[in-house]
């Protein structure tokens, strides 16, 4: 099998807790996901990225890991994981598992031993975390969860010292200057490869090392360690994909790809909010601006692109003006805002406007990189901003219009579910659910299935180069993807009003263009100048024939 499978893949991000509950305890589980693999296969995705599945007090939805090498009992057993992998592979689907190297839960046995001088294993684990007598060090490092944490240091009574944490105070950072810690994470990686993972998402990689006088992000030491992880993967299980989550500017992300010897993929964080700004202003310029700043990647590397994920829509990689604009436009109510971002799902961000949702999704599916869909967005699920933290975008998947939306059995009392099912008039499960959309040929679900099918048939979308076109109307966003002799033109109207796109297609004068979504064919005139009327949020995928 090709080692660079991730270049053609469409990923589906899923929270195990939220997807399907197989044993009616109100919590989604691995067996539940396994039972829905046919749904995902039919949807047309290639790989499933699972949020953390490990034992955890779940104060950060599992990113507070209490044991890196086991399964949370709510979600099942290692056998359930093996069965999931086996059934996924049988269908040609791949599984991506989380590795959270930067920190653990304060409940992890390593931290318990580290903080407690009386602990029988204290001597061994004493230096596994970053301890100091005071909170003076690393003052140049920003606080990330600014709505919750006043400092990156927290005092521990038992040890009588401060420990370092980039995220919640209950998530102490591991000390990567300790070779034992470095080895422990490499072992963890091997354990999940042995268990069958095809890819590993590396959580929060920029923060592994700390150095005085720096922002403690993207340090050379961190890159050296990530290269060692990659070398391990290449030697131990070539073809295992490493996906890093460096939420950074393109020039700071570029080193995470190294010379093709570090991470295979990294998310393109700064692109995402600019796609939303482009729609809000009906102006493609913000996307052009970030593309001009986006460096080329080594051949074996790929960007990961996304519109939404399990976190707040992060506004860290924008200017203060852009952030204010995004907040005013997309998060007018204070509850919609969180940290430096917006806790809303795709459909509510776009006022449940089917034309606009399809148009923005079309950009995700045709632009460069490999797209990541977030569970539930394929049916236009809503959010619940009244839930704490980011839980409002992690509510139960809406399978049908019966009790509990089909997430748990119908007899399970609603208050036993880990979170309430969305039940409002617009986004509620009675109206928005998989079963209803399967029956409706015009549904978002069926559109997504069709679009993914077309994407799969055309490697140019995953592998092609990208040339932006520059029609006069800024509301028109058009580009050509080219790969192995195939050229595909994607044209989008970013505005809610009719546009005329005048494109200079001189290179294709006299050639036919096949509309990949409708099958229609048009011919480009000999002049090469082509005027295309576009209705509100209309988009075209045109293959040069
Ligand atoms: C990543 C995750 C986020 C988590 C954080 C700390 O950013 O996406 O959900 O809270 O890491 O582990
Ligand atoms: Ca369950």
Q: pLDDT per residue over 137-158, tens digit each?
A: 999 999 999 999 999 999 999 9
307 pLDDT above the threshold of 70: yes
The pLDDT-based confidence of 283 (bands split at 50, 70, 90) is: very high
389 Cβ closer than 6 Å to some ligand 1 atom: no
What is the pLDDT averaged over residues 461-479? Answer: 97
Contacts 24+ apart (CB under 8 A), 214-223: 214/140, 214/141, 215/140, 215/141, 215/142, 216/138, 216/140, 216/141, 216/166, 217/141, 217/248, 217/252, 218/246, 218/248, 218/252, 218/255, 221/176, 221/177, 222/176, 223/255, 223/256, 223/258, 223/262
113 pLDDT above the threshold of 90: yes
21 pLDDT above the threshold of 90: yes
pLDDT score, position 1: 59
255 pLDDT above the threshold of 90: yes
Q: 97 CA distance to ligand 2 centroid (A)?
A: 19
2 pLDDT above the threshold of 90: no
- 54 neighbors 65 (Cβ within 8 angstroms): yes
Number of H helices, E strands in the chain: 17, 22
106 Cβ closer than 6 Å to some ligand 1 atom: no
For residue 412, give the ligand nearest its CA.
2
Q: 60 CA distance to ligand 1 centroid (A)?
A: 8
Q: Which of 99, 203, 205 to mutate to test the pocket of ligand 1 (most atoms within 8 A of CB)?
A: 203
Residues around the ion ligand 2 (C-beta < 5 A): 21, 23, 25, 27, 29
| Residues labelled catalytic | 203, 245
Ligand 1 atom showing the smallest separation from residue 311 Cα: 9
Measure the CA–CA gap between 282 and 341, rounded to whole angstroms: 21
Residues 357-381 have pLDDT tens digits of 999 999 999 999 999 999 999 999 9
What is the pLDDT averaged over residues 214-224? Answer: 98
Neighbouring-strand partners of residue 482: 465, 487
99 pLDDT above the threshold of 70: yes
225 Cβ closer than 6 Å to some ligand 1 atom: no
- 77 neighbors 123 (Cβ within 8 angstroms): no
Q: Which residues contact residue 490 at a Cβ distance below 8 angstroms, ignoring those fewer than 6 apart?
A: 362, 363, 366, 367, 478, 479, 480, 481, 539, 540, 541, 542
For the four alpha carbons of 111, 114, 117 and 121, in that order, the dihedral sign comes to positive
- Sole residue written with tokens 């996906």: 243
338 Cβ closer than 6 Å to some ligand 1 atom: no
- Sole residue written with tokens 């979600």: 75
Helix (H) or strand (E) holding 267: strand 265-267
Ligand 1 atom showing the smallest separation from residue 145 Cα: 10
Q: Within 10 Å of residue 285's Cβ, how many Cβ atoms?
A: 13
Q: Which of 13, 17, 52, 63 to mutate to test the pocket of ligand 1 (most atoms within 8 A of CB)?
A: 63
What is the overall mean pLDDT for the chain? 97
Ligand 1 atom showing the smallest separation from residue 63 Cα: 12
63 Cβ closer than 6 Å to some ligand 1 atom: yes
Residues 314-361 have pLDDT tens digits of 999 999 999 999 999 999 999 999 999 999 999 999 999 999 999 999
- Sole residue written with tokens 């539940």: 32
- 198 neighbors 241 (Cβ within 8 angstroms): yes
312 Cβ closer than 6 Å to some ligand 1 atom: no
Q: 71 CA distance to ligand 2 centroid (A)?
A: 13
For the four alpha carbons of 350, 354, 356 and 357, in that order, the dihedral sign comes to positive
Residues 180-206 have pLDDT tens digits of 999 999 999 999 999 999 999 999 999
- Sole residue written with tokens 């749904």: 39
Q: 312 CA distance to ligand 1 centroid (A)?
A: 10
What is the pLDDT averaged over residues 440-452? Answer: 98
95 pLDDT above the threshold of 90: yes
Q: Which of 50, 204, 314 to mutate to test the pocket of ligand 1 (most atoms within 8 A of CB)?
A: 204
98 Cβ closer than 6 Å to some ligand 1 atom: no
167 Cβ closer than 6 Å to some ligand 1 atom: yes
């Amino acid at each position: 099998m090709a080692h660079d499978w991730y270049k053609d893949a469409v990923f589906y991000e899923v929270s195990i807790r939220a997807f399907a509950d197989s044993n009616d305890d109100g919590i989604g589980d691995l067996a539940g996901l396994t039972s829905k693999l046919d749904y995902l296969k039919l949807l047309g995705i290639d790989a499933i990225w699972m949020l953390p599945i490990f034992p955890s007090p779940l104060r950060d939805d599992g990113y507070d890991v209490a044991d890196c090498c086991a399964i949370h009992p709510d979600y099942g057993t290692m056998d359930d994981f093996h069965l999931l992998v086996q059934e996924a592979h049988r269908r040609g689907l791949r599984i991506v598992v989380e590795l959270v190297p930067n920190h653990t839960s304060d409940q992890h046995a390593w931290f318990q031993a580290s903080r407690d001088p009386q602990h029988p294993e204290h001597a061994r684990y004493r230096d596994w975390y970053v301890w100091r007598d005071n909170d003076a060090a690393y003052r140049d490092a920003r606080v990330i969860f600014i709505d919750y944490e006043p400092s990156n240091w927290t005092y521990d009574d038992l040890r009588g010292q401060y420990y370092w944490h980039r995220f919640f105070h209950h998530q102490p950072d591991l000390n990567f200057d300790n070779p034992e810690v470095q080895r422990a994470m490499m072992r963890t990686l091997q354990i999940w490869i042995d268990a069958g993972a095809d890819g590993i998402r590396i959580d929060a990689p920029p923060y592994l090392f700390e150095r005085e006088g720096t922002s403690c992000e993207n340090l050379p030491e961190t890159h050296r360690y990530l290269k060692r992880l990659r070398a391990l993967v290449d030697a131990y299980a070539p073809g295992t994909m490493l996906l890093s989550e460096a939420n950074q500017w393109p020039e700071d992300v570029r080193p995470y790809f190294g010379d093709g010897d570090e991470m295979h993929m990294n998310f393109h964080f700064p692109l995402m909010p600019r796609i939303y700004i482009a729609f809000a202003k009906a102006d493609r310029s913000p996307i052009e601006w970030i593309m001009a700043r986006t460096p080329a990647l080594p051949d074996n590397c790929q960007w990961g692109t996304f519109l939404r994920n399990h976190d707040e829509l992060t506004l860290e990689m924008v200017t203060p003006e852009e952030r204010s604009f995004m907040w005013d436009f997309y998060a007018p109510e204070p509850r919609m805002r969180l940290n430096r971002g917006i806790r809303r799902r795709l459909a509510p961000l776009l006022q449940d406007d089917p034309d606009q949702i399809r148009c923005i999704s079309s950009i995700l599916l045709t632009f460069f990189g490999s797209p990541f869909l977030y569970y539930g967005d394929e049916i236009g699920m809503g959010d619940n901003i009244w839930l704490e933290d980011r839980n409002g975008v992690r509510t139960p998947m809406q399978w049908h219009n019966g009790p509990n939306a089909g997430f748990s059995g119908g007899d399970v009392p609603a208050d036993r579910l880990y979170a309430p099912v969305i039940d409002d008039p617009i986004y509620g499960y009675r109206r928005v659910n998989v079963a209803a959309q399967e029956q409706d040929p015009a549904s978002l679900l069926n559109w997504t299935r069709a679009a993914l099918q077309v994407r799969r048939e055309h490697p140019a979308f995953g592998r092609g180069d990208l040339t932006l076109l520059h029609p006069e109307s800024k509301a028109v966003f058009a580009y050509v993807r080219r790969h192995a002799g195939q050229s595909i033109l994607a044209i989008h109207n970013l505005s809610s009003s009719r546009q005329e796109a005048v494109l200079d297609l001189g290179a294709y004068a006299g050639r036919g263009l096949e509309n990949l979504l409708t099958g229609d064919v048009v011919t480009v005139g000999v002049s090469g100048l082509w005027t295309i009327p576009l209705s509100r949020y209309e988009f075209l995928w045109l293959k040069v024939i």
